Amino acid sequence: MATLDEVARTVLRERYLRQDEAGTVIETPDELFRRVADAVAAAEDDDVEGTADRFYDALSALEFLPNSPTLMNAGTDLHQLAACFVLPIEDSLVSIFETLKRTALIHQSGGGTGFSFSKIRPVGDVVAKTGGVASGPVSFMRIFDVATEQIKQGGRRRGANMGVLDASHPDVRAFVTAKHEADAFRNFNLSVATDAAFWDAVESGEPYDLVNPRTGETVDRVDADAILDLIAELAWATGDPGLLFLDEINTHNPTPALGRIEATNPCGEVPLLPYEACILGSVNLGEMTDGDKIDREKLARTVRLGVRFLDDALDVSTFPVADIERAVSRTRKVGVGVMGFHDMLVDIGVAYDSDEAVAVADEVMQLVSETAWETSRRLAEERGPFPVWSESVFDDPVRNATTTTIAPTGTISMIAGATAGIEPIYNVVYEKQVLGGLEMVNDRFVEIAKARGFYDEDLLTDLKDRTSIQDVDAIPADVKRLFQTAHDVPPERHVAVQAAFQHHVDNAVSKTVNLPSDASVDDVRTVFLAARDQGLKGITVFRSGARPEQVLGDDPLK
Ligand code: CDP
């Protein structure tokens, strides 16, 4: 078993290890990995034990970790293993409250939920049954927010939601400004859904129609550019909303015959049809190097194991409601991704803001994607293709409608001792506001500092108050280049890395584009336009000093 650092041990103890009714921890980290490996491998037909051992080896070596619900729930009474769900909301009280109930059940089982509120009639519209006036999508979102507040996921953390509204909805302005008030919608990330009609109107300056979803009537004609400005202004101030590019998402919808995708899971990395869910897992790239080279063989081997693990996990997972069970078993979506991208760059001596980093992103994700699809094809030969494969876009039988996703890995990266997802580091040493404060120290930095003879405790203490080490004289320039922080990397380089990954990812990429505190609203707009240009499926910005993100900000465990 790889060595777990102090942070990993604390996170596991506080949130993941099984407890008895009195709250006493009754398993070790090693037993957790064994429990998860055994429970997932139970889906295998032959060689259950051999497969369980291989899963255990990869988990305990911190080479591959599944999403939190799998680590928490596999092999326990609550056998729900997926992190990501999307539920439908129609324009009726029955639908809204049915989905609210299902949301509660999903949160209770450890999953996060996304919804499009676009079908709900706008504020002031008629309500025939009562002769009253409608209160609009934003007011119904509030009910979901309040319900979420009360339910801890799997008893261990609060739930997370993604709220989506079409840019053409008459209430779009109220939606865009919904999180402006401090503490409003703290359990929601928000995304405005855009499509070609919106971007054409931004470009041409032609009026853009706001349409009542109940009647199909145009109720207003507005300047799309002004809407985009408002989105940029609020994103500048609060980090929300982000944007979804629904046309791009639906161009890559693997099962268009089953319907149009309208929403994603809470962090945006998995666009899903209503009732679909997805189990994620991430390969730790920091463990996929050999000296200063990428170990392609080990990476491919780990991805093969990861896809098999997630396909098994789908079979042994329970789902909170029958509609979800049905939707999941039709398309069998899984998402293998990566964490520790910045760690890998450090190991191979590449600066995050360089063209070479983009080339590494491209090389790594191409290999991950090709290997994942090859594995899914083999699984189809062994176990049959996903049930609606013949109605899908694929010519060859494959076991899963999607195989790849880049998750934020907010918590599992802390267990793995890896940099989160594909993000640059926050700093080489800092205090993370989780579980009462955890000291995060970058092992690679400490190792290099010791080897190069500039390590001392006082230096680390000094670095702790910074968000960049670039102007610290005691650190050699070539080392500083390797440890660029999220604040050092220019926004356009964040977008370039995201795009390089997205080009090889079936689902989407979770990434925050950091902007300096003195960035302008126009800079946010520029990032949005670059994201659109480069074929991203969504984009989220965060300006340093803007309100801290609440749902999945500093404390992903809350
Ligand atoms: O690292 P971990 O597996 O805990 O999660 P992540 O990679 O940071 O987030 C993956 C997905 O888990 C999110 O997009 C959500 O769907 C879900 N999630 C959640 O429901 N609640 C949280 N507090 C964190 C994540």
ipTM attached to this prediction: 0.97
122 prior amide bond cis, ω within 30 = no
Model confidence pLDDT, tens digit, residues 435-480: 889 999 999 999 999 999 999 999 999 999 899 999 999 999 999 9
Does the residue 1 lie in any domain?
Answer: no
What is residue 550's predicted lDDT score, i.e. its pLDDT?
Answer: 41
Distance CA 365, CA 143 (A): 39
Does the residue 488 lie in any domain?
Answer: no
Model confidence pLDDT, tens digit, residues 190-239: 999 999 999 999 999 999 999 999 999 999 999 999 999 999 999 999 99
Q: How many A from CA of 455 to the centre of ligand 1?
A: 35
Does the residue 190 lie in any domain?
Answer: yes
Q: How many A from CA of 536 to the centre of ligand 1?
A: 21
Q: With bands split at pLDDT 50, 70 and 90, how would you rate the model's confidence at 554?
A: very low
Q: How many A from CA of 475 to the centre of ligand 1?
A: 35
User: Of residues 189, 267, 400, 442, which has the active-site annotation?
Assistant: 267
Q: Which atom of ligand 1 is nearest to the CA of 157?
A: 23
Model confidence pLDDT, tens digit, residues 282-324: 999 999 999 999 999 999 999 999 999 999 999 999 999 999 9
Report the pLDDT averaged over residues 249-256: 98
Q: Is 284 a catalytic residue?
A: no
Does the residue 127 lie in any domain?
Answer: yes
Tell me if residue 101 falls in helix, strand or coil.
helix
Does the residue 73 lie in any domain?
Answer: no
Closest protein CA for atom 20 of ligand 1: 112
* Domain that residue 123 falls in: 84-264
The mean predicted confidence, pLDDT, of the chain is 95
Q: Is 267 a catalytic residue?
A: yes
Question: Is residue 552 scored above 80 in pLDDT?
Answer: no
What residues does ligand 1 touch, defined as CB less than 6 Å away?
67-68, 83-84, 111-112, 153, 157, 159-160, 265-267, 269, 407-412, 552, 556
Q: How many A from CA of 549 to the centre of ligand 1?
A: 14
Does the residue 192 lie in any domain?
Answer: yes
- Percent of the chain topping pLDDT 70: 97
Q: Is 492 a catalytic residue?
A: no
Q: Which atom of ligand 1 is nearest to the CA of 410?
A: 8
Which CATH number do you get for residue 110?
3.20.70.20
Please state the domain count of the chain: 1
Does the residue 373 lie in any domain?
Answer: no
Element (DSSP H or E) covering residue 40: helix 29-41
Closest protein CA for atom 14 of ligand 1: 267
Q: Which of 80-84, 148-152, 376-380 has the lowest mean pLDDT?
A: 148-152
Distance CA 429, CA 440 (A): 5
User: Which of 68, 103, 151, when mutated, tests ligand 1's pocket best, judged by the most ligand atoms within 8 Å of its CB?
Assistant: 68
User: Of residues 269, 276, 287, 423, which has the active-site annotation?
Assistant: 269
User: Of residues 265, 284, 427, 507, which has the active-site annotation?
Assistant: 265
Per-residue tokens: 221: 């004609």
For 151-155, the CB contacts below 8 A with 24+ separation are 151/104, 151/107, 151/108, 152/107, 153/69, 153/107, 153/108, 153/109, 153/110, 153/111, 153/112, 154/69, 154/72, 154/73, 154/78, 154/108, 154/109, 154/110
DSSP state of 548: P
H helix runs in 409-454, sequence order: 412-416, 443-452
Report the pLDDT averaged over residues 95-116: 96
Does the residue 238 lie in any domain?
Answer: yes
Contact 54, 305 (CB under 8 A): yes
